[in-house]
Amino acid sequence: MKMDANPLSNIRFVLDHTSHPGNIGSAARALKTMGLTRLYLVAPRRFPHAEADALACDARDVLLNTQVRTTLDEALAGCVFAAGLTARRRDLAHPCMDVREAARHLIALSAKQEVALVFGNEAYGLSNEELARCQLMVSIPTDAAYTSLNVASAVQIMAYELRMAVLAGSGVAPDTPELARLEDIEFFYRRLEETLIRIDFLDPNNPKRLMPRVRRMFARAQLEKEELSILMGMLKQINLHAKPKVD
Amino acid sequence: MKMDANPLSNIRFVLDHTSHPGNIGSAARALKTMGLTRLYLVAPRRFPHAEADALACDARDVLLNTQVRTTLDEALAGCVFAAGLTARRRDLAHPCMDVREAARHLIALSAKQEVALVFGNEAYGLSNEELARCQLMVSIPTDAAYTSLNVASAVQIMAYELRMAVLAGSGVAPDTPELARLEDIEFFYRRLEETLIRIDFLDPNNPKRLMPRVRRMFARAQLEKEELSILMGMLKQINLHAKPKVD
């Protein structure tokens, strides 16, 4: 468990499939002005790039330390919590907070543990699959007539609210439980799905919305590390006792 | 006195001596996403410009309605209150609020009257002379290690806080007095200065910091319309009774 006096240093901003390098540079600058430094990119179309450098201005150090990953799961490795920024309404709504409330929540969590904020592509945002990796949806209250915030602007507002939450001293949350790591939760989901198929609860040829609903339920729960151990133990036992599949 | 149900429609954003047309486009987009539409430019280096159009995306209607003026005074005509965004500390500090507190204040004022937010040039911000036109300094709490917010990012944060203040319902301020117009206050300052010279209180060859101090005092007061009438009446009487200058 990481012990860091500054909760902002445990927060990573993940830009997922960003198209325009200028937005990456602007995001780096936005982060640094608010005292944040940790930028992750998932499969950026062009990076490094001169335009990113130009728009980062004196935040080029943030770009130099930027971590590039192939998948969102890799970018979230080590985190206990991920929140996805989204403007669109979803079918199966995740728990949702506005950006101010979310900032307070994240600062409380990040006092001792790593958390992530995920920003989708400029044109199509986050896919439902990507959003399923997140435990929380964060909405910025845009005007109904024009909801299309620039991605670097969304980063700026989120970073600003995180800084305001720290300045307000809301980061003091000594009793925050140790949460399960996201990659361990993903491993659990995979084992659970296999198990549900094995016990004929889930038809892989007609899965319907079962796993998304399961994810939503656990996302609301915000699994603690010990709880996940218990769930994994349960799965193991279920599998030990399941009849081998005959087909 | 203007009566408008939506306080956001009485707020103008004034970009002063902006160098990069891309920032003007980004500012237009930032405004529109937050339900604001009124953009004024003071002596922009290049406008209209293709880059402004490109970065405005679907906020090009805001650009089409943008008002271009030669001086800051012209851009503030009709307003009763102006707040200047600034990162730098000033010698003679104006009243200063952080951006959240300022947003609540402005929304209360703008329920019935026109107000302005002024953003300086990308490289050198607002001059002391320009800031003297403002009644309030607004600061965005940036990290001490890197205070250089992009101007469109500053617009985005300010616009976001204004929208949050409206959503919080803090715009209900039925007893806000009718404030004096800024151009009338500027006229008063000019008459006052002439008068002070005439009565040998102010040495035009060695003015020191007298007028800035006077401005700061009245800025804190937030002159009401009737109060300004009284002050102008006083000046008139002082001048009537002053001895003609012999030199």
Q: pLDDT tens across A10-36, in order?
A: 999 999 999 999 999 999 999 999 999
Question: A215 and A157, same structural domain?
Answer: no
Residue B232: closest CA among B243, B221, B240, B244: B240
* Residues B114 and B196 occupy one common structural domain: no
- pLDDT for the residue B89: 56
CB-based contact A153 B29, cutoff 8 Å: yes
Token digits of residue B136: 């309030």
Nearest to B239 by CA among B202, B197, B210: B197
- Give the minimum alpha-carbon distance from A153 to chain B in angstroms, rounded to a whole number: 6
Whose CA is closest to B10, among B149, B173, B122? B173
- DSSP secondary structure letters along A1-55: ----S-GGGGEEEEEES---HHHHHHHHHHHHHTT--EEEEES-SS-S-HHHHHH
- Mean per-residue pLDDT over chain A, rounded: 88
**A46 lies in some domain:** yes
Please tell me the total number of residues recorded for chain A in this structure. 247
Q: Which domain holds residue B199?
A: 182-241
Same domain, B145 and B201: no
In total, chain B counts a number of residues equal to 247
The residues near B115 (Cβ < 8 Å, ≥ 6 apart) are B10, B11, B12, B79, B80, B81, B82, B83, B106, B109
CATH at residue A51: 3.40.1280.10
- Confidence (pLDDT) at A174: 46
pLDDT top residue among A39 and A172: A39
The tokens for B142 are 């940036």
Cα–Cα dist A97/A165, whole Å: 15
CB contacts, 8 Å: A162 with chain B: none
* Least CB–CB distance from A156: residue in B29, B57, B157: B157
Contact list, A151 vs chain B (CB under 8 Å): none
Contacts of B142 in chain A (CB under 8 A): 33-35
Looking at residue B172, what is its pLDDT?
A: 47
**Does a structural domain hold residue A109?**
yes
Looking at the domain assignment, is residue A162 inside a domain?
yes
Same domain, B121 and B52: yes
pLDDT one-digit tens code per residue, A223-236? 888 888 888 988 88
Return the bridge partners of A136, or none. A83
From chain B, the residues in CB contact with A146 under 8 A are 32-33, 58-59
pLDDT higher than 80, residue B1? no
Out of A140, A167, A194, pick the residue that ends a domain: A167
In this structure, the answer to whether residues A156 and A129 fall within a common structural domain is yes
A175 assigned to some structural domain: no
> Which of A136, A211, A131, A223 has the alpha carbon at shortest distance from A185?
A223
Backbone angles phi, psi at A133, to 5 degrees: -75, -10
A interface mutation test: which of B157, B161, B163, B166 has the most A CBs within 10 A? B157
| One domain, residues A153 and A55 | yes
pLDDT band for position A3 (cuts 50, 70, 90) = very low
- Tell me if B24 is assigned to some domain: yes
Question: Within this chain, do residues B147 and B228 fall inside the same structural domain, yes or no?
Answer: no
Identify whether A160 is part of a domain. yes
Q: Which strands make up the sheet holding B38-42, listed edge to edge?
A: B67-69, B38-42, B11-16, B115-119, B81-85, B136-139, B96-98
Same domain, A35 and A153: yes
Given B167, B193, B220, the domain boundary residue is B167
Q: Do A150 and B29 touch (CB under 8 A)?
A: yes
Residues on chain A bordering chain B, Cβ-to-Cβ distance under 8 angstroms: 26, 29-30, 32-35, 57-59, 100, 140-143, 145-150, 152-153, 156-157, 160, 163-164, 167
Which residues on chain A are in Cβ contact (under 8 Å) with B140? 160
Taking any CB pair shorter than 8 Å as contact, residues of chain B touching chain A are 26, 29-30, 32-35, 57-59, 100, 140-143, 145-150, 152-153, 156-157, 160, 163-164, 167
Residue A117 is classified by DSSP as E
pLDDT tens digits, residue range B132-186? 889 899 999 999 899 999 999 999 999 999 999 999 874 444 456 788 899 999 9
Strand partners of residue A16 = A42
Rounded to whole angstroms, how far apart are CA atoms B59 and B237? 51
Q: Which of A148, A152, A164 sits opposite B33 (nearest CB)?
A: A148
Which amino acid does the sequence have at B173? A
- Residue A112 sits in the same domain as residue A25: yes
Q: Rounded distance, CA B96 to CA A180, Å? A: 44
The pLDDT confidence band at residue B243, using thresholds 50, 70 and 90, is low
Tokens 């010279």 correspond to B197
Q: Do A32 and B164 touch (CB under 8 A)?
A: no
Single out the residue in B167, B201, B224 at which a domain terminates. B167
**pLDDT one-digit tens code per residue, B64-106:** 999 999 999 999 999 999 999 987 655 556 778 999 999 999 9
Q: Roughly what angle, to the nearest 10 degrees, separates helices A151-167 and B21-33? A: 70
**Per-residue three-class SS string for chain B:** CCCCCCHHHHEEEEEECCCCHHHHHHHHHHHHHCCCCEEEEECCCCCCCHHHHHHHHHHHHHHHCCEEECCHHHHHCCCCEEEEECCCCCCCCCCEEEHHHHHHHHHHHCCCCCEEEEECECCCECCHHHHCCCCEEEECCCECCECCCCHHHHHHHHHHHHHHHHHCCCCCCCCCCCECCHHHHHHHHHHHHHHHHHCCCCCCCCCCCHHHHHHHHHHHHCCEHHHHHHHHHHHHHHHHHCCCCCC
Radius of gyration of chain A (CA): 19
- What is the three-class DSSP state of A146? strand
Is the pLDDT at A2 greater than 60? The verdict is no
> Nearest-CA neighbor of A113 among A188, A177, A32, A36?
A177
Q: Which among B59, B141, B147 has the least Cβ separation from residue A163?
A: B141
Q: Which of A30, A146, A157 sits opposite B59 (nearest CB)?
A: A146
Which residue in A148, A157, A170 has the most chain B C-beta atoms within 10 A of its own C-beta, making it the best mutation to test that interface? A157
B142 with A33: Cβ contact below 8 A: yes
The residues near B217 (Cβ < 8 Å, ≥ 6 apart) are: none
Contacts of A139 (CB under 8 A, 6+ apart): A85, A86, A87, A96, A97, A98, A99
> Domain holding B219: CATH number?
1.10.8.590
Residues B14 and A69: their CA atoms lie apart, in Å, by: 41
Chain A: closest CA distance from residue B231 (Å): 41
Statement to judge: residues A64 and A87 lie in one domain: yes
Answer yes or no: is B172 within a domain: no
B153 and A33 within 8 Å at the Cβ level: the answer is yes
- Report if residue B174 sits inside a domain: no
Taking the C-alpha atoms of residue A165 and residue A179, their distance in angstroms, rounded to an integer, is 21
Kindly identify which residue of chain A lies nearest to residue B87, measuring between CA atoms. Answer: A33
Q: B203 with B160, same domain?
A: no
Q: Are B31 and B39 in contact (CB under 8 A)?
A: yes
Question: For residue B152, which of B65, B33, B10, B43 has the smallest C-alpha distance?
Answer: B33
What ipTM was reported for this prediction? 0.79
pTM of the model: 0.81
Give yes or no: residues A223 and A103 share one domain. Answer: no
Distance CA A141, CA B35 (A): 10
For the sheet containing A11-16, what is the strand order? A67-69, A38-42, A11-16, A115-119, A81-85, A136-139, A96-98
pLDDT of residue A89: 56
Q: How many domains does chain A have?
A: 2
**Amino acid at the residue A124:** Y
Those residues with Cβ within 8 angstroms of residue A123's Cβ, 6 or more apart along the chain or in another chain: A19
A6: number of CA atoms within 13 Å, CB side?
Answer: 10
